[in-house]
Amino acid sequence: MIALHDIKSPKPEDFPSELEGLRMTKQRREILSVILSKRDHPTANDVFLRAQKRMPTISLATVYNCLEALVSHGIVRQVNFERESSRYCPNLNDHCHFQDESTGQIHDVTFKKGVNLADFLELPQGTEISHLEISLKGRIGSS
Amino acid sequence: MIALHDIKSPKPEDFPSELEGLRMTKQRREILSVILSKRDHPTANDVFLRAQKRMPTISLATVYNCLEALVSHGIVRQVNFERESSRYCPNLNDHCHFQDESTGQIHDVTFKKGVNLADFLELPQGTEISHLEISLKGRIGSS
DNA sequence: AGGGGAAATTGGAATTATTCTAATTTGGAG
DNA sequence: CTCCAAATTAGAATAATTCCAATTTCCCCT
Ligand SMILES: [Mn+2]
Ligand SMILES: [Mn+2]
Ligand SMILES: [Zn+2]
Ligand SMILES: [Zn+2]
């Protein structure tokens, strides 16, 4: 089973016309391909700028609309660092984010295998988590 | 050693005129007392509304200024959930936050003792974390 | 193939949390 | 008491995101 985000350099044409019950319009396809084609974590505006290269008439409102559609259908993840603008991530595996304060770059951080949340947190019993976000900031030492 | 946030119903007068190197003006005192006097996680505007009761001339800009001063001096914590407005927390112990989606209430969640981040995350070696935020959303089952 | 209609896109305006600015006030040091 | 840096204030500015109303797209039906 090969996940969408494993595809190397996807062209918009590579996507079916419907995905996870979401109609794949050409704008949505373009935006998805922008997000999948570079493993960084672009903001909506970054996505807009990149999408404009191949689709000069796309609007920022559409970028926001498409991102919201992709996120709510679980095709793309939305990532937040404090009050900064949201970023978007194609990695659907369980992971969290580390922002290197010296470069601004965001790195995916996976969980050690076998661990699960409840092992770490003193959660009130009966808690059902629907959404989890872990964001780290710091530096990578030269050692 | 009794921590500030353990004081029951602190009046502004209870605070020294300087704290952690921060000059305690009457506005800062008032705002700190607002935050300490109720264990919820108010937004800046909530704080403004509450502070106005005892200090009708305080301005929203001052509330933001004071919160920023208190946060940057480590006297209060700033808490974020996705794109919602920031909230402020008097609990300085290591903890994270759970928002109950049925009530909107935010609960402090502590870490199980003895665990530490590096045990959970596949961090690139040499990583120095300067800031960490864990935010959960969900519901508390009736069981 | 043609037409209807719901959904998507668009540009621009609106919203809103937060920050900035410039003028005034405050309060501790000398 | 005076001086001065820092804090407060009202209001304007900013910027990310959402809303709106008009247009366009395109799927479905005949
Ligand atoms: Mn989410
Ligand atoms: Mn912080
Ligand atoms: Zn990611
Ligand atoms: Zn808290």
CATH 3.40.50.970 matches B4-88: no
Pick out residues 109-128 of chain A having their CB under 7 A from any atom of nucleic acid strand C. Answer: none
Greater confidence (A142 vs A138) lies with A138
Q: List, for chain B, all residue ranges whose pLDDT scores fall below the cut of 70.
A: 1-18, 143
User: How many CB atoms lie under 10 A from the CB of residue B141?
Assistant: 10
Q: Which of A82, A111, A137 sits opposite B120 (nearest CB)?
A: A111
Decide if A103 contacts A142 (C-beta within 8 A). Answer: no
| Distance from residue A2's CA to the centre of ligand 4 (Å) | 40
B59 Cβ nearer than 7 Å to chain C strand: no
Decide if A78 contacts A87 (C-beta within 8 A). Answer: yes
pLDDT tens across B57-75, in order?
A: 999 999 999 999 999 999 9
A129 Cβ nearer than 7 Å to chain C strand: no
pTM metric for this prediction: 0.89
Share of chain B above pLDDT 70, in %: 87
**Model pLDDT, residue B21:** 80
Angle at A97 between CA A94 and CA A101, to 5 degrees: 170
Question: Which nucleotide has the shortest C1'-to-CA distance from B45?
Answer: C17
Name the strand (E) or helix (H) holding B88: strand B87-89
Rounded to the nearest 10 degrees, how much is the dihedral formed by the CA atoms of A49, A54, A56, A60?
A: -40
**Model pLDDT, residue A13:** 63
Pick out residues 83-122 of chain A having their CB under 7 A from any atom of nucleic acid strand D. Answer: 85-86
Q: Distance between CA atoms of B106 and B47, rounded to whole angstroms? A: 16
- Contacting residues of B for A106, CB less than 8 Å apart: none
Token pair 């008439």: residue:
A57
Pick out residues 84-143 of chain B having their CB under 7 A from any atom of nucleic acid strand D. Answer: none
B127 vs chain A: nearest CA distance in angstroms?
4
Q: Which of B112, B119, B132 sits opposite A122 (nearest CB)?
A: B112
Write down how long chain B is: 143
State phi, psi for B42 to the nearest 5 degrees.
-70, 150
Whole-number distance in Å between A52 CA and C10 C1': 14
Q: Distance between CA atoms of B43 and B84, rounded to whole angstroms? A: 9
Segments making up each domain of chain B, as ranges: 4-88
pLDDT tens across A109-132, in order?
A: 999 999 888 889 999 999 999 999
List, edge to edge, every strand of the sheet that includes B127-140.
A106-110, A95-100, A127-140, B127-140, B95-100, B106-110
- Contacting residues of B for A129, CB less than 8 Å apart: 98, 136-138
